[in-house]
Amino acid sequence: MKSAVIVFPAANCDRDAKVALTQMTGQAPHMVWHQDSELPQVDLVVLPGGFSYGDYLRCGAMASQSAVMKAVKAHADKGGMVLGICNGFQVLTETGLLPGALMRNAGLKFICKPVALSVEETQNAFARHYEKGQEITIPVAHGEGNYYADDETLDRLEGEGRVVFRYKANPNGSARDIAGILNDKRNVMGMMPHPERVVDPVTGGTDGRALFQSLIETLS
């Protein structure tokens, strides 16, 4: 599986994504600067967590206008896989690649801790190595992780099996406890928790490994 990680100014999780992908796939991903207008030939594009542009204006808003995002959209339109983690999820909603928006946490405080998730859907390229209903623990680190969409959109996400992860104990006020969703073609996923931080027991757990294993099995 060939992969690329987009590097935005002030993002701080691109290296975490690189380490996780290298460990899981055996080859380092391409690190693509946000001003590049083209992507290398890859199967997976990862939009990492962090605080692109310092979350100025609105989290993910400025990054969504970066030159590379046209290439990311084209990659997704052709069926290529895209994974947005934390700030990457925010960028995906700002570009319209995923519905809804990420707002300030309900408690108006930054949250950084491991959280329990329920795996809601496994019939997709991102979660096939989990079991439906499985409880996993993955850390969050965000101030704007409160997922919002109107009821019609939420009903559609639920009805089409596009809610992949749900919080067991909602830390941020997200509608219907949503922690991760798919686009309608099921090749783009955004999630607020950080699976790249739990692929090695040295860093506190391995519950993120199945996500990367799912992608490797699908794309290799």
Helix/strand/coil for 72? helix
112 catalytic? Reply is: no
Catalytic residue among 59, 86, 121, 142: 86
User: C-alpha angle 200/205/209, rounded to 5°?
Assistant: 60
Q: Which of 120, 121, 144, 196 is catalytic?
A: 196
Query: In one letter, which amino acid is 149?
Result: A
Q: Are 207 and 136 in contact (CB under 8 A)?
A: yes
The catalytically annotated residue of 34, 75, 142, 194 is 194
- Catalytic, 194? Answer yes
Question: Cβ–Cβ contacts within 10 Å for residue 33, how many?
Answer: 12
Who contacts 181 (Cβ-Cβ below 8 Å, separation ≥6)?
98, 99, 100, 147, 157, 162, 163, 164, 189, 190, 191
Report the C-alpha gap between 120 and 176 in whole angstroms.
Answer: 12
Q: Is 59 a catalytic residue?
A: no
Active-site residue list: 86, 194, 196
